[in-house]
C-alpha cells in the first residue's frame, strides 16, 4: 500500500515537474535505465514462465497494462530532464514539441550535479553490480541475475546521486516530500512480513536481503532530507542561454 502511494506521488511529481532545479539529471537517467531494465526483466520472466514464442513475447511486452504501469513515469522523467514542452497553436490541431534552454538556476543546479566525477559513478556502479549479483540467491542463468547486476545498481546509484545533490544544494527535490516516507514504511512492512512468529507463513528463501537493506537506508536518508531541507523552487526564471 505504501509503495503504491509512493508510486502515485512519484508519477504526479514528474507529470507536473517543469524545471530541473535541484534534480540530479545523471541520477534521473540512472533511474530511467533501472525502470526499463526492470520492465525488460518482467517481460522476459513472463514469457519464459509461459513458454511463449517471439510474437507472443512482443504482444506480452505491448499488451500487459500491469507491466506498462512501471514504465509510465519514464515518459515524464525524460520530458523534464530534456526540458521538453508541448504546445499547440490556435491555427493547427497538431501539437508541437519545444525544447527549452536551461535557465540560470537550472545551470547552477547542473554544476552542482556535475561535481561528482564520472569515474566515481562508473566505479560505484560496477562495485554495486558485483555485490548485488553475488548476493543473488537465484540460479545464475535466470533473468534475476541480470536485474541484480544491471538494474538494481542503476536504481540505487540514481537515488544516491539525488541524495548527494540534495545535500549540496541544501534543498529537497526528485519527488514529493511524502514520497520517501511512504517508501520507508513500505520497505519496513515488506521486511516485517518475513519475521517468523508474527505471521503464519515464513519463507526463508525470500527473507531479508542485502538490496532490501540498501533500499531501506536510502529511503531513510531521503526521508530525513525531506524533513530537514526545504523543497527546491520550481519557479522558472527568465534568464536562459
The tens digit of pLDDT for each residue in 136-145 reads 765 555 667 7
Give residue 196's pLDDT. Answer: 56
The tens digit of pLDDT for each residue in 216-232 reads 999 999 999 999 999 98
The tens digit of pLDDT for each residue in 85-116 reads 776 666 666 767 778 888 888 999 999 999 99
Asked if pLDDT for residue 24 goes beyond 70, the answer is yes
Phi, psi of 25 (to 5 degrees): -65, -40
pLDDT greater at residue 145 or residue 50: 145
Asked if pLDDT for residue 41 goes beyond 60, the answer is yes
Residues 158 and 81: their CA atoms lie apart, in Å, by 14
Q: How confident is the model at residue 146 (pLDDT cuts 50, 70, 90)?
A: confident
Burial 61-94 (b: 16+ CB within 10 A, else e): beeeeebeeeeebbebbebbbebeeeeeeeeeee
Give residue 5's pLDDT. Answer: 85
The tens digit of pLDDT for each residue in 198-214 reads 444 444 445 567 888 89
Long-range contacts at 235-240 (CB < 8 A, ≥ 24 apart): 235/19, 236/18, 236/19, 236/103, 237/103, 237/104, 237/105, 238/103, 239/103, 239/104, 240/100, 240/101, 240/102, 240/103, 240/104
Q: In this structure, is the dihedral angle defined by the CA atoms of residues 146, 148, 150 and 152, taken in order, positive or negative?
A: positive
Q: How confident is the model at residue 58 (pLDDT cuts 50, 70, 90)?
A: low
Amino acid at each position: 500500500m505504501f509503495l503504491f502511494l509512493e508510486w502515485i506521488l512519484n508519477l504526479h511529481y514528474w507529470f507536473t515537474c517543469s524545471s530541473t532545479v535541484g534534480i540530479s539529471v545523471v541520477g534521473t537517467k540512472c533511474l530511467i535505465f533501472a525502470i526499463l531494465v526492470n520492465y525488460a526483466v518482467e517481460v522476459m520472466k513472463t514469457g519464459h514462465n509461459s513458454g511463449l514464442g517471439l510474437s507472443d513475447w512482443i504482444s506480452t511486452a505491448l499488451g500487459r497494462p500491469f507491466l506498462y504501469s512501471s514504465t509510465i513515469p519514464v515518459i515524464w522523467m525524460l520530458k523534464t530532464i530534456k526540458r521538453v514542452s508541448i504546445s499547440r497553436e490556435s491555427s493547427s490541431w497538431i501539437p508541437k514539441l519545444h525544447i527549452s534552454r536551461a535557465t540560470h538556476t537550472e545551470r547552477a543546479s547542473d554544476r552542482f550535479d556535475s561535481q561528482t566525477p564520472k569515474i566515481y559513478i562508473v566505479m560505484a556502479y560496477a562495485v554495486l553490480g558485483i555485490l548485488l549479483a553475488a548476493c543473488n540467491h537465484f540460479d545464475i542463468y535466470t533473468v534475476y541475475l541480470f536485474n541484480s547486476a544491471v538494474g538494481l545498481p542503476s536504481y540505487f546509484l540514481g537515488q544516491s546521486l539525488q541524495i548527494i545533490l540534495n545535500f549540496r544544494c541544501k534543498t529537497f527535490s526528485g519527488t514529493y516530500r511524502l514520497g520517501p516516507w511512504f517508501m520507508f514504511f513500505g520497505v519496513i512492512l515488506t521486511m516485517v512480513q518475513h519475521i517468523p512468529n508474527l505471521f503464519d507463513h515464513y519463507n526463508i528463501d525470500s527473507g531479508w536481503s542485502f538490496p532490501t537493506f540498501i533500499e531501506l537506508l536510502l529511503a531513510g536518508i531521503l526521508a530525513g532530507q525531506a524533513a530537514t531541507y526545504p523543497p527546491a523552487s520550481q519557479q522558472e526564471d527568465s534568464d536562459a542561454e
